[in-house]
Amino acid sequence: MNTDDEMYEDYDVDDDSAEESGNESIDDMEYDETGTQEFDFDDNGPSRTHSKLTRQKSFEVLDKSDLYSESHKLIKEVMDVLSIPSEACVSTLLRHMKWNKEKLIERYMENSDKLCADAGVPNLKLDKPVDKGIKQFSCLICLEDFSPSQTYALSCDHRYCLPCWKSYLEIKVSEGPECIYTNCPAPKCKVRVHEDAFKAIVSPEVFERFSSFILKSYVDDNPQVKWCPAPGCIYSIRCDRKERKEAVNCKCGFQYCFNCNDYDIGDHMPVPCSQVDKWLQKASDESENVTWMLANTKKCPECRSPIEKNGGCMHMTCKKNAGGCGFEFCWLCRGPWSEHGSTTGGYYNCNKYDKSKAKEEDEKATDAKTELEAYMFYYHRYESHRNAMKIADEQRKNAHLKEQQILSKFEVRSADTKFLMEATEQLLRNRRVLQYSYVYGYYLDKKSQERNLFEYLQEDLEKHTNFLSTLYEQSLDKLEDYQSFIKWKEQVTNYTRITKKFLDNFVEGVSGGLTAVH
């Protein structure tokens, strides 16, 4: 086996090619500002119609201001089409229709009165002015008297004092996102409290929270927009393609499958979503315990209790103190032990085995054990790369600490440490793909001609990813001077590009059906 230095020399990258590659980060190399690599998947895996990677602008990262602009643009469009002057009315209608402009316009044209009544804004009226003849008003909630100016009523004319309104609306907002569907406090009244009423009655802080719930509904009810699942992330992502089974890259740095939208799953390329679901179900399903029992135990012929063999003797006893029945039998043929002896081949060898149904049961158990061993082989490596990916993510987050150590020890420019982030990003990407490559390999036809090529590409990617990881993790204490730092930097920089090439080969091979890889 090659030493680390020999491995590095075998895949060295000259200075000219390095200059052509530039010093892009991994995200820059893989993506443009609003695009992603695209792969077509069906339920069986990647489509074979692509022999090369393709790029397409298919997603956009949105912040709070973007969501506000988009939602209000949608409101204005509906106002113009339906000639409705009230922004609050249209906002209420859109929320009722899950922000679907086309369906809203269609239903409004069919029966505007019914739609408005169902949405809680009957006749598109928001408020009910107070009768000028009333000098004093008695609130039906607190039973106190107020001047008309200290009261408020929606179009339903259920009038209450402002303090009671304020308390009611603040409680609703404190209860969470459903506050955007708050109705009038009168029993059984279905008139909706619109956002203008919230703004006029509650404090600015409470209204800000109410507004955030409106934006949340805009995302939650929109199949083309989803919140980034990374903890604490404030961004959402729009993906306009009809088939949204692809990886997207958030500004927070997290890369994930838009369709799955799950932080723990992340980007599961090269495995289609359906296989990820199947794999995760398999990992958590109690049927795996049943498979283990079938592979490693046999049932008592009398009471059917599972028994595990832990010695060499074929004489088994179903222990009563373990919940069994006390029956004594032969492990091989499951026949009564009283029928065994020298005539059956001895106590440690049963020649009745081939003539019994036990052989069929044992063959099933052997098949189950073989399947279980195969599953554990892939699962163990899946978990190993999953854990390595978590380490790579921590290294990426802590790259600035290593950068500070280098700046302090060798007095170099900050530009000379950019390679650290590039290396950790590449490691993170590689580990993520390697993790799911073992899911892909598990479901790949064992007799397929493509398996050898797949495992060859997988092994190459795995080997060189491990080498880059070893290079990156080298202790700075071993770098004695500036020259040793420069040599190490060149090794890490070049091997980052090398592993990217192996990753591209692997991804291209899988997306191309493993038939056109050079």
Q: Annotate 409-437 with DSSP letters as a single string.
A: HH---GGGGHHHHHHHHHHHHHHHHHHHH
* Range name among 336-345, 381-390, 401-410 with the lowest pLDDT average: 336-345
How far, in Å, CA of 437 to CA of 187, rounded?
Answer: 58
CA distances from 241 to 245, 246, 476 (A): 9, 10, 46
DSSP β-bridge partners for residue 37 = 55
How far, in Å, CA of 70 to CA of 467, rounded?
Answer: 47
Long-range residue pairs from 484-492, CB within 8 A, at least 24 positions apart, any chain: 485/406, 485/409, 485/410, 485/412, 489/416, 489/419, 491/8, 492/419, 492/420, 492/423, 492/468
111: exposed, middle or buried (Cβ count in 10 Å: 0-12, 13-18, 19+): exposed
Helices 162-174 and 204-220 meet at what angle, rounded to 10?
A: 40
Which pLDDT value is given to residue 43? 45
CA distances from 431 to 147, 404, 428 (A): 69, 26, 5
**What average pLDDT does this structure show over 141-164?**
90
How far, in Å, CA of 248 to CA of 229, rounded?
Answer: 12
More confident residue, 127 or 154: 154
CB 225 within 8 A of CB 218: yes
DSSP β-bridge partners for residue 46 = 41
Other beta carbons within 10 angstroms of residue 269's beta carbon come to: 24
pLDDT band at 503, cuts 50/70/90? very high
Q: How many CA atoms lie within 13 Å of 455's alpha carbon, on the beta-carbon side?
A: 13
- Residues carrying an active site annotation: 313
**Strands in 298-407 per DSSP E:** 298-299, 306-307, 315-317, 328-330
How far, in Å, CA of 261 to CA of 293, rounded?
Answer: 35
Longest Cα separation, the chain:
114
Considering the chain, what percentage of its residues have pLDDT values greater than 70?
76
For residue 280, pLDDT over 90 is answered with no
Q: Which of 446, 314, 306 is nearest to 375 (CA)?
A: 446
Sign of CA dihedral 259, 263, 264, 268: positive
Which pLDDT value is given to residue 79? 94
DSSP β-bridge partners for residue 145 = 138
How far, in Å, CA of 212 to CA of 227, rounded?
Answer: 13
Helices (H), 251-357: 273-284, 287-296
* Range name among 96-105, 321-330, 342-351, 478-487 with the lowest pLDDT average: 342-351
Report the topology of domain 4-57+367-511: Four Helix Bundle (Hemerythrin (Met), subunit A) (1.20.120)
Hey, what are 67's tokens?
Answer: 């969501």
Place of tokens 């799955």: 260
For residue 290, pLDDT over 90 is answered with no
Q: Which of 297, 294, 228 is nearest to 260 (CA)?
A: 228
Q: What SS3 class is residue 181? A: helix
Q: Which of 435, 459, 444 is nearest to 380 (CA)?
A: 435
- Enumerate residues 6+ apart whose C-beta is below 8 A from 64: 215, 234
Which pLDDT value is given to residue 40? 43
pLDDT band at 432, cuts 50/70/90? very high
For residue 193, pLDDT over 90 is answered with yes
Which pLDDT value is given to residue 37? 41
**What average pLDDT does this structure show over 425-445?**
91
Hey, what are 368's tokens?
Answer: 């189950």
pTM, 2 dp: 0.67
- Enumerate residues 6+ apart whose C-beta is below 8 A from 374: 442
Other beta carbons within 10 angstroms of residue 270's beta carbon come to: 22
| Whether the bond into 272 is cis, omega within 30 of 0 | no
**What average pLDDT does this structure show over 185-203?**
93
Helices 101-110 and 112-119 meet at what angle, rounded to 10?
A: 120
Model confidence over 438-488: pLDDT tens digits? 999 998 888 777 888 888 889 889 889 988 988 888 888 888 888 888 898
More confident residue, 507 or 308: 507
340-349, 350-359, 379-388 — most confident range: 379-388
Q: Domain extents for the chain?
A: 4-57+367-511, 64-124, 300-356
Hey, what are 266's tokens?
Answer: 């992340």
More confident residue, 316 or 437: 437
Hey, what are 336's tokens?
Answer: 């009564």
- Enumerate residues 6+ apart whose C-beta is below 8 A from 325: 300, 302, 303, 305, 318
